[in-house]
Structure 1
Amino acid sequence: MTFQSLGPQLDSLLTMPGVTDILVNGYQQVWVQRSSRSLESVVSPFQSEGQLAALAQQIIGLGGRHVDQANPFADVVIDGIRVHAAIGSVGNPKTHLSIRIHRERLFGLDQLADFGMFGLRELGLFRQMLAARQNFLIAGPTGSGKTTLLRALLAECVAERVIALEDVAEIGLPTPNFVSLQTRQANIEGKGEVNLDRLVREALRMRPDRLAIGEVRGIELLTLLQAMNTGHSGAGATIHANSLADVPSRLQSIVSAGGLAGGAASTLDREGFAQSVQSAFSWVIQVNSRVVSAIGTFFIDAGGSLQVVRRDF
């Protein structure tokens, strides 16, 4: 796999055999991870904090974004490499780079089954789910394989217009009807921000066959639920959660966040929200350590609270 050059220092790390993650904690400390091994310390190729900071700004610029003292954090994807940069600021004087290399971007469902991510029963369920245009939510912790599974599921929909909405474009389907919309940070004057909620609203006007959200974590959840409950079927999304049991509280915490206190959220009580989620999503798929560890469905308990029950099929 070849990459666009990100500078000689990072190129020397990216070409290390089997490397999947590179973590730079200031110019003197660099860690790499190869496949499923533990993190290992390597000799830093950087000569100074200034050199590292300049490289971080250059890389983020290649991805069409910027980092500075006013906006010290940014994410970009360049040739299958996701880079998160946190430049030195008042909060931390060091520049930090967190780099993930997506080597499996084109894996399909059959390949993931061969790799042991799930079995033949799950494979059959996923294909039935897609054929029936059922909405699904993929849950898991960071690095668990949520996006890998979402991408493989959407890749089955080759004849459909799929619109993916992400903070950083990672899904990247090689199909002619695939449309990728990416959020945009505010400019240096604080203007021009485009968030996920805005993207969901715009995507609904673009005649999608299927909607996909890279990760739900804000007010876009309510807009997505409204869309799925008013006829937009076959949608998929991911959410950060460590287990099936954690998914309801994670969804509720999103709705209860300070930014959702007004507008539509203020008219949506706990039971109403639970009913909306249960009606919208047919399946919840839990992924841990790149394995589908459980599949469940939402239900509402006697107290009106949203819960997930594991399904054995």
Structure 2
Amino acid sequence: MKASGFGKRKQGLKRQTGGFGGGFGRGNAVPALDPATSPLASAANEQADSPAPELVDRLAELGEEALKSHFTADELRMATKGEVIRKIETLIDEMLVNEGESLNPQEKKDLATYLLNEAEDAIGPIGDSADSAPAKKDQNKQTLFEARDRIQVLLMEHIDPTAASELPRAELADQVGEVVGELLVQEKINLNLTEQRDLVSLLLDDMLGLGPLEPLLADDAISDIMVNGPKQVYVEKKGKLILTDVHFRDNQHLMNVAQRIVTAVGRRVDESSPICDARLADGSRVNVIAPPLAIDGASISIRKFTQDKITLDKMLEFGSITPPLAKLLKIAGACRLNILISGGTGSGKTTMLNALSRMIDKGERVVTIEDAAELQLQQPHVVRLETRPANLEGQGEIDMRDLVKNALRMRPDRIILGEIRGGEAIDMLQAMNTGHDGSMGTVHANRPREALTRLENMVNMAGLHLPAKAIREQISSSLDLIVQVQRMRDGGRRTTHVTEVVGMEGDVITTQDLFKYEFTGEDESGRLVGSFNSTGVRPHFLTKAEYFGLERALMEAMNG
């Protein structure tokens, strides 16, 4: 509700309560009564004490502006409505003191209720309702889904699926639309023309695409889609998880969509092979885990492929990095440093890897190795390799180690691993240390030091039984830079550390931070505020920067 609406409502209430007394007060035919005891005079006095509607409007507007500075979404979620009301009443008292005005108790109560509702609408739900409130169902969509479920079985009896799959979508839509119109009349289902068109789209999505997931895949604002069984689908928008009203008919419908995804890339998912990594035709990464491992129905996780290529310059616009930090990362890529990008799930590791890869010279030969190909390198000379799972007989598996070893025979200038997660770590380190400078990879870790520990543990997974010191020496001599990225609680992704691997001191790998993100608070919109600070140390790779003629630019970046 806007403030003006609130003001009009208040004005109407004052007319209703004050008009009766005012009318009699102005008439001279009525004998005068004792001012102290006259109910008519009391009504007139009450009317006189009522605040002007402009004051109520102004206080409502001021209160709306002040809410975001007084409450955050997390504070509302942790509070009760009683606590929030008390804080709002205190806020109203402060505004009245500043304005030099006053409100009667009822007006103050109404204003507090209005601001409470505004806080929930603009900032977030209060108390346990933040976690437990179900998403509001769109009744029209629910009706549409029910109509689809009834019509779909009947439609299959009237069309030839094989012939339908060969028709262009527009022509098929016309033919399906005619049949659907007849079936709706037959089943006595009342839908308007817009709903009938939407119903035809839903049916075509099931016949030709990925069913209920198609509208989500078409929405550019969605970055991740998470299907938790047939009746629950979440999406990520602007870093926040949102429950959608999308659902599948049943477990079998969900499994049909999952199998359609994986068979398109020559893989399978069923009870004997319930875990599968795949990709969509547009490059989106997909993970499927089916029953019996997924108890409540198949789970599908889709990391959407972004058509809009993210660069370091675009990260500047998003506030993920600052100009000095962007310059440092560009120099690191151009100087052929071996870079490890570290971060948690969904923190933006692959995005950062894609952005850094833009610094690779167009004349270099690059080999990428991934479980499911999703890197978006812009260079013309790129060879993309992808692992292969075992067949039904348990044979024919090609893992990351096999591909890294083979990549070394392909005369690469750089090798890029989408994700290092096992024994291939030792092969990657050896490649970095044997003439393939500028190689890159990602690893799951929460801090740069943890990334080194994980790398050491993954080398041990290769079963070579190397001494710990030998592994650490291999890491320190191969790796140059660790870029730590993190998804923060406001949904934003930021580069929190740029850490240089310097060498060894005894049995310990030594590092130095070049840049660090310092959190300072949050603004009125709930977005975290902080600064990306240079530590001011002399970069260890300054000598290499001199070789490429970039030492001056590097020092400018370090000096901010």
- TM-score, with structure 1 as normaliser: 0.90
Q: Which has the higher helix share?
A: 2
- In terms of mean alpha carbon deviation, does 301-310 or 214-223 score higher? 301-310
Residue 409 of structure 2 aligns to a residue in which SS? coil
What residue number does 2:544 align with? Answer: none
Instruction: Determine if contact 1:53/1:88 at 8 Å carries over to the other structure.
Output: no
Amino acid at match of 2:251: E
Give runs of aligned pairs for residues 185-200 of structure 1, distance below 5 A: 185-200=389-404
Task: Report how far residue 71 of structure 1 moved.
Answer: 1.4
2:481 paired with 1:283: yes
What residue number does 1:42 align with? Answer: 244
What residue number does 2:437 align with? Answer: 233
Amino acid at match of 2:377: L
**Aligned CA-pair RMSD:** 2.0
Task: Report how far residue 43 of structure 1 moved.
Answer: 2.2
Residue 217 of structure 1 aligns to a residue in which SS? coil
1:118-177 per-position Cα deviation (integer Å, ceiling 9, x unaligned):
222222222222232111111000111111111111122233211111111011324320
Amino acid at match of 1:287: V
Amino acid at match of 1:209: D
1:221 to 386, 410, 425: 425
Give me the whole-angstrom Cα distance separating, in 2, the residues matched to 1:131 and 1:20.
29
Amino acid at match of 1:274: R
Relative contact order (C-alpha < 8 Å, sep 6+): which is higher?
A: 1
Task: Report how far residue 105 of structure 1 moved.
Answer: 5.4
Task: Report how far residue 301 of structure 1 moved.
Answer: 6.1
Structure number, greater radius of gyration: 2
Give me the whole-angstrom Cα distance separating, in 1, the residues matched to 2:316 and 2:377.
19
Q: Which has the higher strand share?
A: 1
Give me the whole-angstrom Cα distance separating, in 1, the residues matched to 2:497 and 2:220.
32
- Structure 2 unmatched runs, 5+: 1-204, 488-492, 515-534, 536-557
What residue number does 2:292 align with? Answer: 89
2:262 paired with 1:60: yes
Instruction: Determine if contact 2:501/2:509 at 8 Å carries over to the other structure.
Output: yes
Give runs of aligned pairs for residues 109-258 of structure 1, distance below 5 A: 109-157=312-360, 158-257=362-461
Give me the whole-angstrom Cα distance separating, in 1, the residues matched to 2:323 and 2:367.
28
Give me the whole-angstrom Cα distance separating, in 2, the residues matched to 1:143 and 1:300.
30
- The alpha-carbon distance between structure 1 residues 250 and 269, as it changes in their structure 2 partners (threshold 3 A), is same
Task: Report how far residue 52 of structure 1 moved.
Answer: 0.5
Instruction: Determine if contact 2:211/2:257 at 8 Å carries over to the other structure.
Output: no
Instruction: Determine if contact 1:283/1:296 at 8 Å carries over to the other structure.
Output: yes
Instruction: Determine if contact 2:210/2:260 at 8 Å carries over to the other structure.
Output: no
Instruction: Determine if contact 2:261/2:279 at 8 Å carries over to the other structure.
Output: no
Give me the whole-angstrom Cα distance separating, in 1, the residues matched to 2:223 and 2:327.
30
Amino acid at match of 2:498: I
| Percentage of matched positions with identical amino acids | 35
- In terms of mean alpha carbon deviation, does 110-119 or 202-211 score higher? 110-119
- The alpha-carbon distance between structure 1 residues 92 and 119, as it changes in their structure 2 partners (threshold 3 A), is same
Give me the whole-angstrom Cα distance separating, in 1, the residues matched to 2:477 and 2:209.
45
Give me the whole-angstrom Cα distance separating, in 1, the residues matched to 2:446 and 2:243.
28
Amino acid at match of 2:328: L
What residue number does 2:276 align with? Answer: 74
Count of matched residue pairs: 303
Give me the whole-angstrom Cα distance separating, in 2, the residues matched to 1:220 and 1:6.
36
- Structure 1 unmatched runs, 5+: none
- TM-score, with structure 2 as normaliser: 0.52
- The alpha-carbon distance between structure 1 residues 278 and 45, as it changes in their structure 2 partners (threshold 3 A), is same
- In terms of mean alpha carbon deviation, does 23-32 or 12-21 score higher? 12-21
Task: Report how far residue 19 of structure 1 moved.
Answer: 1.7
- The alpha-carbon distance between structure 1 residues 68 and 156, as it changes in their structure 2 partners (threshold 3 A), is same
Task: Report how far residue 192 of structure 1 moved.
Answer: 1.1
Instruction: Determine if contact 2:283/2:373 at 8 Å carries over to the other structure.
Output: no
1:21-71 per-position Cα deviation (integer Å, ceiling 9, x unaligned):
21111111121221223x222223310101101110111111222112221
Give me the whole-angstrom Cα distance separating, in 2, the residues matched to 1:233 and 1:164.
14
Give me the whole-angstrom Cα distance separating, in 2, the residues matched to 1:17 and 1:152.
19
- In terms of mean alpha carbon deviation, does 187-196 or 167-176 score higher? 167-176
What residue number does 1:293 align with? Answer: 496
Residue 231 of structure 1 aligns to a residue in which SS? coil
- In terms of mean alpha carbon deviation, does 247-256 or 217-226 score higher? 247-256
